[in-house]
Structures are given as C-alpha cells and as structure tokens.
C-alpha cells in the first residue's frame, strides 16, 4: 500500500510551538518522512504501508516585512529537501495588509481585555463629559499565509487531476497542527467536491526537544 503525506506547514509549525514551547530546541527539525513512516507502520489495517510521497505546503515569507524571518525560512526549507524529510514543497502566498482592531491587553490567562480610558489618557464627548466605556481603535500590520491549507486538498487527488477513487491500496494523510483539534487527520483519498477531513493537532512521537534526523 502506498501512502501520500500532505502537510500544512504553518499550522504544523504553530501547533508544534504551542505543544513544545517557542524556546524548546530540536522540535522544529522534526523528520516528516520518518514520522509518517512510523505512523503508517502502526496502522494494523494498512498492510505493507509504504510512504511514497511527502509534500510540504507553505508560503514564502515577505523579505521586505521580515528579512530575518525570510532568511530563517529559506534555510529551513532547503534543509527539509536536503535531508530528504520531504519530496516536494508546494507554495501558497504570504500577504501583508493593514487591519483595524480594538486596543487590548492580556489578562493573567493570556486572554484579551479591551483597554478603557484611564489617566493619563481619557476620552471626552463633545460636551466635555468623560466617556469611560470608549474603545480605542488601532491599525496594525497583519502578515498571514494564504493558500497552504487550500493546497492540501487538490494535492490529495491522483496525479494529472484524475478523480481519486476510494481504494484499499491508496491512502492519503494530512499532518497539520491546529490547536483546537486532536490527532492527525487521516482518511481514504477524497473525491472531488468533497471536503477534506478536519485538520488535527500533530502528535509528536518524540519528546519535545529531542533531536530528530534531518
């Protein structure tokens, strides 16, 4: 049985960082090919499963808005290919926009709390009366990736754009890292027009911080 693995890179990164911590060393160099082979080998209902293709979906960081981020990402993507951790990198786009949002601070649990007028900054209405419930609005540079998760869906079709048939001999697996889900999403190859199963949080078989091959 051949197994194709399709990875939403940004969700996987932020999921891994949430599980292991920003400053924990080693986890960023997770060997995707080795992890996929391990997961496929544990499936008792997948006889003789062999990982035949690992595709990493991401987007190039804009060097104008984040030169260091672009340099770090470039090193990482080259390392993935050089180490054989992935077979192909599929690119979406990375966009920067100006957005508006209420000004907020964090509470002890890290949740946002809207900032209200207080000295030395107060708000008054046209009559000079205080407006204690006023909301401060700010504009900020918002940088986000577009297309990586969308690319996962068409890539799980058979080569050449032919519809993927459900078959015991072919499986697709998506590895992503959204924090509100649990367990890697796995399913038979989807048919055109059908949604890809919900993404799940990456389950790392190695302790956070342990150095993997590649």
Domain map (residue ranges) of the chain? 2-92+147-188, 95-144
Between 95 and 146, where is the model more confident?
Answer: 95
Q: If you average pLDDT over residues 180-201, what whole number do you get?
A: 39
Give the H/E segment covering residue 197.
Answer: none
Q: What is the pLDDT, as a whole number, of residue 157? A: 57
pTM: 0.60
Task: Give the residues across from 112 on adjacent strands.
Answer: 106
Q: Considering only 55-64, 104-113, 155-164, which range has the smallest mean pLDDT?
A: 155-164
Between 156 and 67, where is the model more confident?
Answer: 67
pLDDT greater than 90 at residue 197: no
Taking the C-alpha atoms of residue 164 and residue 192, their distance in angstroms, rounded to an integer, is 8
Task: Give the residues across from 168 on adjacent strands.
Answer: none
Using omega within 30 degrees of 0 as the cis cutoff, is the peptide bond preceding 154 cis?
no
Report, in this order, helix, strand and coil percent for the chain, each rounded to 5.
Answer: 25, 30, 45
Q: How does residue 77 score in pLDDT terms, banded at 50, 70 and 90?
A: very high
Q: How does residue 151 score in pLDDT terms, banded at 50, 70 and 90?
A: low
82 SS3 class: helix
Q: How does residue 164 score in pLDDT terms, banded at 50, 70 and 90?
A: very low
Q: What is the DSSP letter of 168?
A: T
Taking the C-alpha atoms of residue 137 and residue 96, their distance in angstroms, rounded to an integer, is 19
Average pLDDT along the chain: 75
pLDDT greater than 80 at residue 184: no
Q: Considering only 56-70, 143-157, 180-194, which range has the smallest mean pLDDT?
A: 180-194
């Amino acid at each position: 049985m051949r197994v194709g693995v399709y990875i939403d890179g940004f969700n996987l990164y932020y999921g891994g960082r949430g599980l292991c911590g920003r400053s924990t060393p080693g986890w960023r160099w997770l060997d995707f090919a080795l992890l996929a082979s391990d997961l496929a080998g544990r499936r008792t209902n997948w006889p003789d499963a062999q990982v035949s293709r690992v595709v990493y979906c991401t987007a190039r960081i804009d060097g104008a808005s984040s030169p260091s981020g672009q340099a770090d990402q470039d090193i990482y993507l080259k390392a993935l290919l050089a180490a054989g951790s992935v077979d192909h990198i599929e690119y979406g786009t990375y966009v920067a926009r100006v957005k508006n949002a209420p000004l907020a601070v964090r509470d002890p649990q890290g949740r946002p709390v809207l900032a209200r007028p207080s000295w030395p900054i107060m708000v008054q209405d046209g009559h000079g009366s205080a407006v204690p419930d006023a909301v401060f609005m700010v504009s900020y540079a918002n940088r986000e990736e577009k297309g990586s998760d969308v690319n996962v869906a068409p890539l799980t079709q058979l080569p050449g754009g032919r519809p993927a048939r459900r078959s015991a001999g072919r499986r697709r697996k998506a590895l992503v890292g959204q924090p509100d889900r649990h367990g890697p999403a796995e399913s038979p190859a989807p048919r055109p027009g059908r949604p890809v199963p919900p993404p799940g949080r990456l389950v790392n078989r190695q302790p956070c911080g342990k150095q993997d091959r590649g």
